Each structure stands twice: as structure tokens, then as C-alpha cells.
Amino acid sequence: MPHPFHWVPAEGARHATCDVRPCGCRFPVGTRVTTLCGAQVVADDGDLAWLWGTCPACNAVARRLAGVDRA
């Protein structure tokens, strides 16, 4: 079963979100997304954007949702 969240590059970091993706497997550039860290960000889908560092707060929540961390 897939995880309830998706990764999305936005505003200089890779964030995670539970927002429904409007189409395909990525959020279109410019889509406003609510992240697991509580931020409202604007999605970027460039090749370089996927190489940005992961938001630590989103990562912590995503790991809990995925059942990797129980804290």
C-alpha cells in the first residue's frame, strides 16, 4: 500500500505533503501545497529542484507516517 504522502520540491527544499496531486505523478509548477511541516509552499518541478535537500520537519513526519519511526 502506498504511503499517504508525496514528495514535492518547493522553495528550496524537498517537502512532503498529503495534498492530492492534481494530475500525473508530480505537482505542476506553481501549485500551492500544504506540507507536513505546516508550511504553505509553491511547487517547483525542475530537474535541479529534485536535488534540493529534504526538509527535516517533513522528513520526521513522513517517517512516522511510513511506520519507520515510532517517536
Contact 6, 14 (CB under 8 A): no
- At position 35, the amino acid (one-letter code) is T
pLDDT at residue 15 above 70? yes
> Which is more confidently placed, 26 or 55?
55
The residue ranking higher by pLDDT, 21 or 59, is 59
Distance CA 49, CA 12 (A): 7
Residues 4-9 have a mean pLDDT of 94
Percent of the chain with pLDDT over 70: 96
Q: Give 22-54 pLDDT, tens digit per residue.
A: 877 889 999 999 999 999 999 998 889 999 999
